[in-house]
Chain A
Amino acid sequence: MSEKQGREDAVIVEGLSKHFGKVKALDNLSIRVPAGEVYGLLGPNGSGKTTAIKIACGLLRQTSGRVELFGQSRPDKKVLAQVGYMPQETAVYMDNTVHENLALFGQLYGLDRERFARREAEVLRFVDLSGWRGALASNLSGGMRHRLSLACSLVHEPRLIFLDEPTVGVDPELRAAFWEYFREIANRGVTVVITTHYMDEASHCFRVGLLRQGRLVAEGAPEQLKRSTGAASLEDAFLAYARGDGQ
């Protein structure tokens, strides 16, 4: 534990609020994610998970509050070069091949030819698309495109990764492999922030934050949350917190 306390915080969110007109998408959200942690943002649709991630990546501007990535308060290009982002949409170029998609992001993040070739082989093996390098994204199945999208956000070996619902449409076997991989890179010091609404999956996270209507209603290790509500599953624990009978 002492080792963990010594690590810097990869993500600091303090008093973050975002209003879309009258709707409060985020309401005074505060989260700290130490480097090397797999942190899960849990909550139903519309609870503000995606908004929080978009603000952290600099895609949206907050109404108030503060976000720091590696100690930088505004996501500048230098910091962004160390961050990976996988949007909820299958954000790949349909009329380009798997390789061309990866090559674009490799070049945008400044990978040289040699490093890109190595990384491309690695991420393709990881997402199980090695045999599809020359295939057009439009010819891949939905799940395969989703895996390609994940590969695109990992190709530059980011130190911090924001993954918005990365396991949607991925079959159970591969999903298990994903989680194993996320924990593995976390052990190497990479910080992973994941949103999901699959409560059962969240047990793979080191810690989770439960979001409801833009507020953090509970935070802690999955086991700890279950224990404190006496719930059998994380889903029951979430429902307990949503009702307000958690501690």
Chain B
Amino acid sequence: MSPRRVLAFTKRTLLQFRHDRRTLAFVLAMPLLMVALFGYTFGGEVKGVKVQVLNADVGMFAPVNFTLPLNLEVNVGNGIVANLNYETLTISNVTDAAAARQDVDKGVVWAAIIIPEGFTRDIATALLNQSAPRPSIEVYIDGSNPNIAAAVFKSVNTALAAALQEAVSAIGGRNASLPASVEPVYAYGGGDTKFVDYFAPGVISFAIMMVTTMITIILFVNERKNGTLQRLMASPASEWEIVTGYALAFGLIGLVQSVVILTAAMLLFNIQIVGNVVLALAVIMLIAFGHQGLGILMSAGAKNELQAVQFVPLILFPSVLLAGLFWPVESIPAYLQPLAYLIPLRYGIDAERSIMLRGWGVGEVWLDLAVLVGFAALTLCASALLLKRRR
């Protein structure tokens, strides 16, 4: 293999991008747009979620005690309503539980928060008697958007804890463990990790994959259609030199892309990169190498650009849905999971997430790396052999 010829291909390809400004803009802007779009859609604070609150709690008088004012009334329900996050939630008070549930069903509001009549009294009973049933607040919620659902639950849980604490200290007690709960409680969200942190590594990997695969398919379809590939094959250049030259070009393009995206993600969304940035970039280059090979292989199945574009949904949807871009592979149906493990992007996303969020190093993500290296070697070798076979 002659490095000079390899670099000749690399140089030509890069120069092509320099002249074709629009494609260059696409290469850099599309991933950026994706991060921005996903970031603002999922990542920002959830605000102004419409909910209805029905507070039926009648409260109770504090037990007669000479340290407390006479006829001290305690109402945990009122405390909860006061402590709800009025930025997250836009609250309207209602009195009819059935109507409130109907409004949720109809999509008028996201949730109905229903505090039962004897809530304070039941809490008092539960505090004194461990075996008494634990009272609960009903949150009747439209769970179609997990982000919103999580925000609502978080707000109600926080308000409940605060109201209870207030009530306990009002009657001169100390910290009390929560004898009440919010039903149903979704085990979702919480903590300080923003959703944007979770999916940013995935979106970056995904964007690199899409751009690399698409552009490679189209470039190679054009090479075949225009006859330039024949000209290359009639030259002393070998198939390996052609493939390596292109791989270098796309590796470099992927590198520039990912630097741009990472910088934008850090500036726009305050994404924390805990791990090694160089390792994160190396993984991105591996993703680019492998999908470039895939693009060359796919180009053999397309006669023109129109046919090439038809490959887009074929690679887009499995990657979006199965590769763990938005939700973990474990949460997709069991019978689809084996399929997910066949998608190379999954390993890229997994590695990027582990490196960027968990701060893992080569020692922990070696399996992902091995799969990506194997994938790249396989597709690049296969594409060189494919070019050879055409000879």
The number of residues on chain B lying at the interface, defined by a beta carbon within 8 Å of a beta carbon of chain A, is 27
Q: Is B230 an interface residue (CB 8 A)?
A: yes
Binds A, one of B43-51, B80-88, B129-137, B233-241: B233-241
Instruction: List A residues at the B interface (Cβ < 8 Å).
Output: 54, 57-61, 77-78, 80-81, 83, 85-97, 100, 103-105, 107-110, 136, 152-153
Instruction: List B residues at the A interface (Cβ < 8 Å).
Output: 2, 4-5, 7-9, 11-12, 15-16, 19-20, 222, 225-228, 230-238, 391
Complex: how many Å from CA A220 to CA B363? 73
Known: A88-B227, A94-B226. A104 touches B233 (CB 8 A): no
Query: Is the CB–CB distance between A87 and B227 below 8 Å?
Result: yes
Query: Is the CB–CB distance between A80 and B15 below 8 Å?
Result: no
Known: A81-B236, A83-B234, A110-B236. A95 touches B5 (CB 8 A): no
Query: Is the CB–CB distance between B227 and A77 below 8 Å?
Result: no
Known: A104-B8, A107-B8, A108-B236. A59 touches B230 (CB 8 A): yes
Q: Which residues of A contact B222 (CB under 8 A)?
A: 94
Complex: how many Å from CA A61 to CA B389? 10
Known: A100-B12, A109-B235. A90 touches B227 (CB 8 A): yes
Query: Is the CB–CB distance between A92 and B19 below 8 Å?
Result: no
Query: Is the CB–CB distance between A107 and B231 below 8 Å?
Result: no
Q: Which residues of A contact B20 (CB under 8 A)?
A: 95
Complex: how many Å from CA A109 to CA B235? 7
Q: Which residues of A contact B228 (CB under 8 A)?
A: 91-93
Who on chain A is nearest to B389 by CB?
A61
Q: Which residues of B contact A96 (CB under 8 A)?
A: 12, 15-16, 19
24 contacts between A and B (CB under 8 A): A58-B234, A59-B230, A61-B391, A77-B236, A77-B238, A80-B236, A81-B236, A87-B230, A89-B227, A90-B226, A91-B226, A91-B230, A94-B226, A96-B15, A96-B16, A100-B12, A100-B15, A103-B12, A104-B9, A105-B231, A107-B5, A108-B235, A109-B236, A152-B231
Q: Which 3 pairs, one residue from A and one from B, show the smallest C-beta to C-beta distance?
A: A89-B227, A91-B227, A107-B8
Query: Is the CB–CB distance between B237 and A108 below 8 Å?
Result: yes
Who on chain B is nearest to A97 by CB?
B19
Complex: how many Å from CA A88 to CA B225? 11
Q: Which residues of A contact B12 (CB under 8 A)?
A: 93, 96, 100, 103-104
